[in-house]
Amino acid sequence: MRNKSITSGSIWKNMLTFFFALLLGAFFQQLYNTIDAIIVGRAVGSDALGAVGGSAAMVVNLFLGFFLGLSSGATVVISQFYGAGKREEIDKAVHTAIALSIAGGAVITAIGVLISPWLISVMKTPVEQAEAGTMYLRIFFLGMIPNLIYNMGAGILRAVGDSRRPLIVLIISCIVNILLDIIFVVGFGLGRMGDVYGVAGVAVATILCQLISAAIIIFILVRSDDSYRLDIRKIRFDAIMLSKIIKIGIPAGFQTTTYTLSNTLIQVSINSLGKDVASAWAAYGKVDVLFWMTIGSLGTVATTFAGQNYGAGKYDRVRKSTRQALAIATVITIPLSIFFCVFGNILLGIFVVDKNVIDIGVQMIYYLAPFYITYVCVEIFAGVLRGMGDAFIPMMITLFGICVLRVIWILFVFPMHRTVEMIEMSYRVTWCTTSAMFLVYYLIYINMKGIKNEKARGENDWKRAHKL
């Protein structure tokens, strides 16, 4: 029953196979976001683009980020049970996870539709974008149940080592979404009817696409003949399993949310330095998203490999998976950082033409790209620890090392020297600090839990047997 490519065989080869499927999925998601922005910006207008990509996008990220963190709890629990070959527990976890998606989606829909106008207002959205932003949020929230079902279902498949079918569904989703955007906004002429109608067309296209994705994922799970098969009639909460999922998922969801909030504070500080700096930061964000897609995918790989091998009791493979994930991340990150530094001006030129903005963006790349390597430990160690079922301490480390420390820096250090370099320094400091904390905690954790290599465990077992 187990995915043998994860619990046996070459670790690095199977890691790379899993990783590239995840990275390709992230690429298609980013491609959709880019094309979607082009369609909205050109066929509707800049205010419509601001309505969809500004305050509304921040609200969507906050809600979705929390639930995706929560769903990672189900991914970890299922991967551990799958590695251990516990069919009954897998069955309960899968049906509880889908029930959580439905219930969570219903709650978010009800709350989101009700408070959308308030959310748009409290974020000080420009008046020209407020009505369209509210419309987009309300329609988007109506599609939360299929959205969460898709994300949870894809997480279940990845938990058992299947990265191919979620990728296929994501590609279909992206293509359908782009086509529906064109049909509603351009074909039906909603883009010419004003910002509110144009944005409504984009939002309807999005939730229809999510409905299709959810239906495909449910179909895959229902038709499966493995232990993670879904039976619609059995979708319900199992109290013990829900507790296990929440124990891991709540810290991860909270971590994602606070991360987003701290980045919002960074954006406010960037905006205070003028439009050129803000434009350069936005363009730089379009470039360095490649690194974040890469490291995020590797973090998911680390979680899945650690989870299944930990569940199977193959602790030596957990340690090896950690080392090889770090090695793969390093081998990819260093050339990527060099590539950014060498071709930064060309990459930035894809998004902006103003030379001053490009020069500022190049400075940002020079200042931050060489330090990407320090963030590798954060993502890999957090993924491995979460895969072994420890989510609370990694959340606290990230909360302090990344979020709290960054907020303190922006509130107290940045005002003493208001330059973009001082904002950038907050990333260097927080990445290095958090990496060091994760390394120390990881070493403590594996020793505390007795997750030693096979040779060491064999020697200890022999000594205990002979009472030495």
Are 203 and 188 contacting, i.e. CB atoms less than 8 angstroms apart? no
pLDDT band of 461, cuts 50, 70, 90: very low
C-alpha 152, offset from chain centre: 13
Residue 316 in this model has a pLDDT that exceeds 60: yes
Residue 416 in this model has a pLDDT that exceeds 60: yes
pLDDT at 465: 41
Tokens of 10: 């070459």
Q: What does the alpha-carbon distance between residue 373 and residue 385 come to, in Å, rounded to a whole number?
A: 19
Residue range 32-66, pLDDT digits in tens: 767 776 777 667 776 666 666 656 777 777 788 88
Q: What does the alpha-carbon distance between residue 67 and residue 230 come to, in Å, rounded to a whole number?
A: 21
pLDDT at 120: 80
- 177's CB contacts (< 8 A; 6+ apart) are 32, 36, 205, 206, 209
What is the dihedral sign for C-alpha 182, 184, 186, 190?
negative
pLDDT at 25: 81
Burial class (CB in 10 A: 0-12, 13-18, 19+), 280: buried
Residue 142 in this model has a pLDDT that exceeds 90: yes
Residue 143 in this model has a pLDDT that exceeds 70: yes
Residue range 358-372, pLDDT digits in tens: 898 899 999 999 999
Query: Mean per-residue pLDDT for 415-429?
Result: 90
pLDDT at 409: 92
84-96: b (≥16 Cβ within 10 Å) or e:
bebeebbbbbbbb
Residue 459 in this model has a pLDDT that exceeds 50: no
C-alpha 328, offset from chain centre: 19
pLDDT band of 187, cuts 50, 70, 90: confident
Residue 251 in this model has a pLDDT that exceeds 70: yes
Find the radius of gyration of the CA atoms of the chain.
Answer: 23
Query: Mean per-residue pLDDT for 132-136?
Result: 84
Residue 456 in this model has a pLDDT that exceeds 50: no
Burial class (CB in 10 A: 0-12, 13-18, 19+), 50: buried
| Percent over 90 (pLDDT), the chain | 34
pLDDT band of 460, cuts 50, 70, 90: very low
Lowest mean pLDDT among 180-184, 269-273, 410-414, 461-465: 461-465
Residue 455 in this model has a pLDDT that exceeds 70: no
Are 383 and 398 contacting, i.e. CB atoms less than 8 angstroms apart? no
Better-predicted residue by pLDDT, 72 or 149: 149
Q: What does the alpha-carbon distance between residue 292 and residue 220 come to, in Å, rounded to a whole number?
A: 29
Residue range 204-221, pLDDT digits in tens: 888 998 999 999 999 999
- Report the amino acid identity of residue 117: P
Query: Mean per-residue pLDDT for 386-392?
Result: 87
Candidates 458, 79, 86; CA nearest to 306 is 79
Residue 280 in this model has a pLDDT that exceeds 70: yes
Q: What does the alpha-carbon distance between residue 195 and residue 94 come to, in Å, rounded to a whole number?
A: 41
Residue 457 in this model has a pLDDT that exceeds 60: no
Dihedral (C-alpha) 154, 158, 159, 160: value to the nearest 10 degrees?
110
Q: What is the DSSP letter of 354?
A: -
- 199's CB contacts (< 8 A; 6+ apart) are 40, 44, 48, 51, 52, 132, 133, 135, 136
pLDDT band of 336, cuts 50, 70, 90: very high
Top mean pLDDT of 13-17, 196-200, 326-330 is at 326-330
Residue 373 in this model has a pLDDT that exceeds 70: yes
The residue with tokens 């033409």 is 353
Query: Mean per-residue pLDDT for 232-253?
Result: 89
Residue 333 in this model has a pLDDT that exceeds 90: yes
Residue 462 in this model has a pLDDT that exceeds 50: no
Residue range 19-36, pLDDT digits in tens: 888 888 878 777 776 777
pLDDT at 37: 67
pLDDT at 437: 95
Lowest mean pLDDT among 43-52, 68-77, 371-380: 43-52
Residue 385 in this model has a pLDDT that exceeds 90: yes
